[in-house]
Amino acid sequence: MRDATPQTIYLSDYQPFGYLVDEVALTFDLDPHQTRVKSRIAFRPNPDAADSRFFLHGEDLKLISAQIDGRSVTPEVTETGLTCDVPDGPFIWEAEVEIDPKRNTALEGLYMSNGMYCTQCEAEGFRKITYYPDRPDVMSVFTVTINGPHPVLLSNGNPVAQGPNHAEWHDPWPKPAYLFALVAGDLVAHSDRFTTMSGREVDLNLYVRPGDEGKCAFGMEALKASMKWDEEVYGREYDLDLFNIVAVDDFNMGAMENKGLNIFNSAAVLASPETSTDDNFERIEAIIAHEYFHNWTGNRITCRDWFQLCLKEGLTVYRDSQFTSDMRSAPVKRISDVIDLRSRQFAEDQGPLAHPVRPESFQEINNFYTATVYEKGAEVIGMLKTLVGDEAYAKALDLYFERHDGDAATIEDWLKVFEDTTGRDLTQFKRWYSQAGTPHLAVTEAWDAGKGVLTLSFTQHTPPSVATPDPAPQVLPIAVGLVGPDGSEVAPTRILEMTEAQQSFVFDGLDERPVASILRGFSAPVVLEHDQSKQERLHLLAHDSDAFNRWEAGRTLARQSLLDTILLSSAPDAAWLDALDLLLTDETLEPAFRALMLGLPSHAELASTLHTKGHTPDPAAIHEAIETTRDAMAHRFADVLGQLYARHMVDAPYRPDAEQSGKRALTNAALSLLTRVQGPDRAEGQYAQADNMTQQLSALGTLVRTGHGDKALSDFETRWQNDRLVMDKWFGLQVSQASPDDATEVAQRLTEHADFNWKNPNRFRAVFGSLAMHHAGFHHVSGKGYTLLAEWLMRLDPVNPQTTARMCSAFQTWRRYDAARQAKIEVELDRMLAQPGLSRDTREMLSRIREA
């Protein structure tokens, strides 16, 4: 909403609501501009609440009538809700409101997308549907009646009555309003069944627009696999007769875990080999699992207040990453997660948006669905599991489900189950939830050859931030292995538990000095500063039995080589390239791993590293260094890459599984490098022959990047113009593969394309998300990238504050750059902040960024 004097909400102010809600009955008479919503809510005083004020949230609602116990009342209505005198004991509140779903472009509350009605209520969208205590600790049983001329009318729970233009639904599980959902439209179902562990039959439906039926099979299989996995690994069984998923084109994020009625961005569920890449398939599988897993971690056990968001999100991300590791390759998943964490979460922690995993204040909660809450929140759970061990983790989780089923819980509740099952005191561990910032972990080694003792001395230090000016030492589980001179493991991996600012650990009984492999599996989300020699890193790259640290050794060498190129104009490190050469041809290594080894730190990661080391990153120099390094790799490996390309090209019919997609990742990485030395023929051939989107898009990207893409781009457009999801790729790729000088103009030109529907978040993000991610293009010295993005964000803000606010984070790292760039960004930030009627969402983001 628009709010001239935004209010800050504090965790410390939490008070329970004065009333409990026993039952809710809602009736919807659907109409594009005049939907009527009748509510009948049974309230009774909450014995645990000190404050008995009766306040119901409500925004953009036209109140038609209100009654208490059947008698008309005239509440005091403001822009944010209403208050009313109520009886001392239990009472029935009834109201009728009118809303305008068609005008709801913010995509929050009840809105329309391609003629269908759908809802998004998390975090605070339900208040745009009717007057209600819209807070997660108010849980109730909902019965919903929908009247409307649509073949499909859906809500949460189980159906109780269905007739022409009419449906009734009942959800027996008490839930907060943010999990409410309604869908109405002309949809078709892809259906299946699942038999649960106790033998109950569950009907499964994936509802899509007619024409999309062919893109449902994979999502349905992923759903069944998720249901099975949650039974086997966490003992969690599904609890309704029905599980529905609906695909929607206009959606602000990936998907939403509404009870029994998940709503998905079409991009996060629709898949076919011809239209989706391997990465799309993997992401879809993970999101389906994530939303399904929320049924227990989020829905059955929800959050007391929005400060506890990580309680459900961190845990559910952790669970979905475990699922992906089990379904695919665990090392590859771990490496990909760390790449993502470093690029998104570390950047957040380093800048003005830094906040703890459990924030302590906010103005707009939608601004806190962040990499810190989600991804760092998941890392914290991974650390907890490492510290207590797998068995204790399983026990603690069992207790969590048993003790808190039906609760709106807190982080304190969560940690208490671990304390109760293990006897550990987690007081210090809790700092992971309350302190912002990424700890830096420095380590030095002392080798006593006479005694055969290696001493590792660690120091931890977290840079202060506005959110946490004075960070205290955290508990760090540091997984350490020792690799002998012959490459063998000297001792099993040991978990060191660091709790002090400085601490030493001793490894004795060693015959020869081993090479220390520290932070195996990335056992804590920290920046590791380990002054190892190049020789030692090459040794780990060749021999480390921990796949993550093997990759990390290569990554560190690559990063150092790039930094030397940027700062000293050195040629790429020949020793690193030689070592890589050996790995590439090692057929015992999975292709996906080798594809990751061919990757380089991103522009943004290098900028962050340079900044951490006290340099001012120059985006153009970073780009240059990456290009030089890629060229060197292409020349150095041309023969090997040609062989790999031929050997791993998949001939078998397309499958999106880990094995085939790993091979395609490797051949596509090879293609991209080979095109640098061999010209466009191979990529043109792959583009022409590809029978799947992974190979087609990768070839197209390579062609566009090397300046040979015009013909293929127009062919692609002609072929896919009627497929909105594929066209998103077409829009995005042109920006992401443009040269730094051209990226802004390309984005600008694409906004003039007839299919640039900027009110659709997927399309907007395809162009402007790609521009913001194009480091050297966005940070072009002219400042044109900043100006174009700011202009479009200001156009979008009145239409869709949530997506606008999210994309403002493109500016979060602005203080890293040189004075000239900072000045240009400052102008744009000030211009945006001066925009009249700026949304609360965007104002909060821009002010936090601007104050840096």
Alpha-carbon span 269 to 585, nearest angstrom: 36
Angle ∠(429,367,5) on CA atoms, nearest 5: 115
Least distance (Å) from ligand B3K to the CB of residue 293? 9
List own/partner pairs for 577-583 with CB under 8 A and 24 or more apart: 577/632, 577/633, 577/636, 577/637, 579/538, 579/541, 579/542, 579/554, 580/554, 580/633, 580/637, 581/636, 581/637, 581/640, 582/542, 583/541, 583/542, 583/554
Would residue 291 show up in a list of annotated catalytic residues for this protein? yes
Amino acid found at 306: W
Stretch that binds ligand B3K, among 286-294, 340-348, 607-615, 761-769 (CB under 6 A): 286-294
User: DSSP alpha helices (H): ranges in 598-692?
Assistant: 603-612, 619-648, 658-678, 681-689
Helices 840-850 and 819-833 sit at what angle, rounded to 10 degrees? 150
DSSP designation for 525: S
Residue 122 or 590 with smaller CB distance to ligand B3K: 122
- State the CB neighbour count (10 A cutoff) for residue 765: 20
Residue 603 interacts with, from Zn ion, ligand B3K, none (CB under 5-8 Å by kind): none
Residue 120 or 316 with smaller CB distance to Zn ion: 316
Residue 320 interacts with, from Zn ion, ligand B3K, none (CB under 5-8 Å by kind): none
Residue 93 or 764 with smaller CB distance to ligand B3K: 764
CB 244 within 8 A of CB 192: no
Binding residue for ligand B3K, selected from 236, 290, 300, 705, defined by CB under 6 A: 290
Grouping H, G, I as helix, E, B as strand and the rest as coil, residue 168 is strand
Task: Determine if 684 is a binding residue for ligand B3K (CB under 6 A).
Answer: no
**What mask of x and - would describe binding to ligand B3K in positions 690 to 709, judged by CB under 6 A?**
--------------------
Stretch that binds ligand B3K, among 97-105, 251-259, 672-680, 681-689 (CB under 6 A): 251-259
Task: Determine if 369 is a binding residue for ligand B3K (CB under 6 A).
Answer: yes
CB 558 within 8 A of CB 572: no
Angle ∠(487,490,492) on CA atoms, nearest 5: 120
- For residue 122, give both structure tokens: 């998390």
User: Pick from 732, 731, 818, 746: which is nearest to 779 by CA?
Assistant: 818
Residue 313 or 546 with smaller CB distance to ligand B3K: 313
- The DSSP annotation for 653-675 comes to PP--SHHHHHHHHHHHHHHHHHH
Residue 256 interacts with, from ligand B3K, Zn ion, none (CB under 5-8 Å by kind): ligand B3K
CB 523 within 8 A of CB 383: yes
User: Pick from 723, 811, 732: which is nearest to 764 by CA?
Assistant: 732
Task: Determine if 282 is a binding residue for ligand B3K (CB under 6 A).
Answer: no
Residue 12, exposed/middle/buried by CB under 10 A (0-12, 13-18, 19+)?
exposed
Task: Determine if 465 is a binding residue for ligand B3K (CB under 6 A).
Answer: no
Least distance (Å) from ligand B3K to the CB of residue 511? 51
Residue 147 or 803 with smaller CB distance to ligand B3K: 803
Helix (H) or strand (E) holding 575, with range, is helix 574-584
CB 219 within 8 A of CB 284: yes
Residue 99 or 255 with smaller CB distance to ligand B3K: 255
Residue 251 interacts with, from Zn ion, ligand B3K, none (CB under 5-8 Å by kind): none
Residue 667 or 802 with smaller CB distance to ligand B3K: 802
Least distance (Å) from ligand B3K to the CB of residue 306? 10
Stretch that binds ligand B3K, among 209-217, 253-261, 419-427, 476-484 (CB under 6 A): 253-261
Least distance (Å) from Zn ion to the CB of residue 183? 19
The number of C-alpha atoms within 13 Å of 393 and in the hemisphere containing its C-beta is 16
Task: Determine if 291 is a binding residue for ligand B3K (CB under 6 A).
Answer: yes
Grouping H, G, I as helix, E, B as strand and the rest as coil, residue 800 is coil
Binding residue for ligand B3K, selected from 257, 282, 348, 375, defined by CB under 6 A: 257
Stretch that binds Zn ion, among 308-316, 476-484, 494-502, 719-727 (CB under 5 A): 308-316
Q: Give, as ranges, the residues between 147 and 186 that touch ligand B3K (CB under 6 A).
A: none
Residue 632 interacts with, from Zn ion, ligand B3K, none (CB under 5-8 Å by kind): none
H helices, E strands: number in the chain = 29, 31
- State the CB neighbour count (10 A cutoff) for residue 577: 19
Task: Determine if 371 is a binding residue for ligand B3K (CB under 6 A).
Answer: no
Stretch that binds Zn ion, among 139-147, 305-313, 438-446, 712-720 (CB under 5 A): 305-313
Stretch that binds Zn ion, among 73-81, 151-159, 229-237, 307-315 (CB under 5 A): 307-315
Amino acid found at 687: Y
Residue 286 or 479 with smaller CB distance to Zn ion: 286
Residue 334 interacts with, from Zn ion, ligand B3K, none (CB under 5-8 Å by kind): none
Task: Determine if 122 is a binding residue for ligand B3K (CB under 6 A).
Answer: yes
Alpha-carbon span 243 to 520, nearest angstrom: 39
Stretch that binds ligand B3K, among 289-297, 445-453, 736-744, 836-844 (CB under 6 A): 289-297
**What mask of x and - would describe binding to Zn ion in positions 313 to 332, judged by CB under 5 A?**
x--x----------------
Catalytic residue among 282, 291, 379, 828: 291
Task: Determine if 123 is a binding residue for ligand B3K (CB under 6 A).
Answer: yes
Task: Determine if 256 is a binding residue for ligand B3K (CB under 6 A).
Answer: yes
Residue 316 or 517 with smaller CB distance to ligand B3K: 316
Least distance (Å) from Zn ion to the CB of residue 238? 17
Alpha-carbon span 778 to 646, nearest angstrom: 36
Residues contacting ligand B3K: total by CB under 6 A: 12
In angstroms, the Cα distances linking 511 to 453, 496, 537 are: 9, 21, 21
Task: Determine if 253 is a binding residue for ligand B3K (CB under 6 A).
Answer: yes
Q: Which residues bind Zn ion (CB under 5 A)?
A: 313, 316
Residues that bind ligand B3K (CB under 6 A): 122-123, 253, 255-257, 290-291, 294, 313, 366, 369
Q: What residues act catalytically?
A: 291
